[in-house]
Amino acid sequence: MKGDNHLLVCFFQIMAANVNQGGTSKRGRVYRTSEAVLAALFSLPSDSESNDDLEESDTEHVDRNSDAGTGNVLSNVVDDDDDDDILYTLASDVSEVESDVDEHDTSDADSDAEESDWTKTVIKPIDVDFDAIQIVPKNAFLPSDGPHEFFSKFFDIELMELLVQQTNLYTKQNKLRNWCDVTMAEMNAFLAILIAIGLHQIPHVEMFCSTDPLFRVQPVADSMPIKRFKKIRQGFYVSDSSKALKHGDPQYDRLHKVRPLLQKLNKEFQGQSVSSTSQSIDEAMILFKGRSTIKQYMLLKPVKRGYKVWARCDSTTGYVYQFDIYTGKAEDQQAGVGLGSRVVLLVKQYGTQTVT
């Protein structure tokens, strides 16, 4: 029994080393470290040592019984009590660790139960009819009106006079050779040819007036001689370049050459239609593959290269109320304000400045 008790003591020493040096999982599993296992293994006696100890203990037990009698029996009882105390202490340590693990698991289960308590919140519907006001033109069209009358709603006489004035001013400032001041009729014909070029594409603009009937477009050839068209295109301008800010100025506008045209179109877009109650603000792309510092590349868009435009449109028809061409990241943007917020604020500010 003495040797068996010794083996049990060593076994519980291993368990105590695992508890103190290793660790326990949430399910009460005990993990051992390599140092603790090696130390416990080296502390175990070999078979020969166990037998010697057992023989010595038996011999000593007989000698003590023969010599001391009852006193030796009491000493053996005391030794057994010491081993029992060690076993009780180790077992109590393990039980305390297991109880701590159980309490931890119980607390985790309670916290999970608290987090899993869902509450239902009734969302009150907003009493707003987004289709209350539909988009309708402010100035009604006549049954006899055609594309020219529709185009004239936005490119009115005021805008055409601005184009004529700025074009003649630019040619005078730059002293363009062989220039004759453009008239209102020529400016109208020039814009019409630009639209026709976009609809009827040919390799060279000179082919519109070619003698070959395969390429010649008679309405374009009858509107204006090709040399006059190219000369107006050379001197066409929208703003006064002498008033433009220098590049590098904090208020420099990359679209200063066309800014008056953009402002005028935004004003007319809003002035020709009733503002509906269902609108959206989103980005759009204008296809352009030439060279430009404001050209954007967007991989996930159907039109990957071109000008990026923010537009406020009617949700049903797609009519554009306002638009703004994206020119790049603003240097004076506020910290913490996202792109969407800046676009909404810009459109709002831009609309209050242009609409009268």
CA 322, CA 267: separation in Å to the nearest integer?
Answer: 8
Which of 114-123, 164-173, 214-223, 284-293 bottoms out in mean pLDDT, i.e. has the lowest?
114-123
pLDDT for 271-281, tens place per residue?
Answer: 999 988 888 88
Pick the more confident residue, 339 or 85: 339
Are 314 and 278 within 8 A, CB to CB?
A: yes
Work out the average pLDDT over 322-329.
87
Q: Domain ranges in the chain?
A: 2-110, 147-235, 266-354
What DSSP assignment string belongs to 92-108? HHHHHHHHHHHHHHHHH
Span between the terminal Cα atoms of the chain, in Å: 108
CA 317, CA 221: separation in Å to the nearest integer?
Answer: 36
3-state secondary structure of 55: helix
**Mean pLDDT, the chain, integer:** 75
CA 43, CA 31: separation in Å to the nearest integer?
Answer: 19
Work out the average pLDDT over 325-348.
69
pLDDT of residue 335: 55
**Residue 132: CB atoms within 10 Å:** 9
Question: Does 8 score more than 60 pLDDT?
Answer: no
CA 54, CA 123: separation in Å to the nearest integer?
Answer: 82
CA 181, CA 319: separation in Å to the nearest integer?
Answer: 36
pTM above 0.85, yes or no: no
List helix spans (H) across 134-258.
Answer: 147-154, 157-174, 184-199, 218-223, 226-235
Which of 22-36, 190-204, 294-308 bottoms out in mean pLDDT, i.e. has the lowest?
22-36
Question: Does 99 score more than 60 pLDDT?
Answer: no
> What's the CA angle centered on 84, arms 83 and 89, to 5 degrees?
100
Share of the chain above pLDDT 70, in %: 62
pLDDT for 147-199, tens place per residue?
Answer: 889 999 999 999 999 999 999 999 999 999 999 999 999 999 999 999 998 88
Q: Phi, psi at residue 308, to the nearest 5°?
A: -90, 130
pLDDT of residue 355: 36
The secondary structure of the chain in percent helix, strand, coil, rounded to multiples of 5, reads 55, 10, 35
Are 12 and 86 within 8 A, CB to CB?
A: yes
pLDDT of residue 113: 53
Are 19 and 28 within 8 A, CB to CB?
A: no
Helix 2-17 vs helix 34-43: crossing angle, to nearest 10: 170
Are 110 and 252 within 8 A, CB to CB?
A: no
Work out the average pLDDT over 235-242.
92
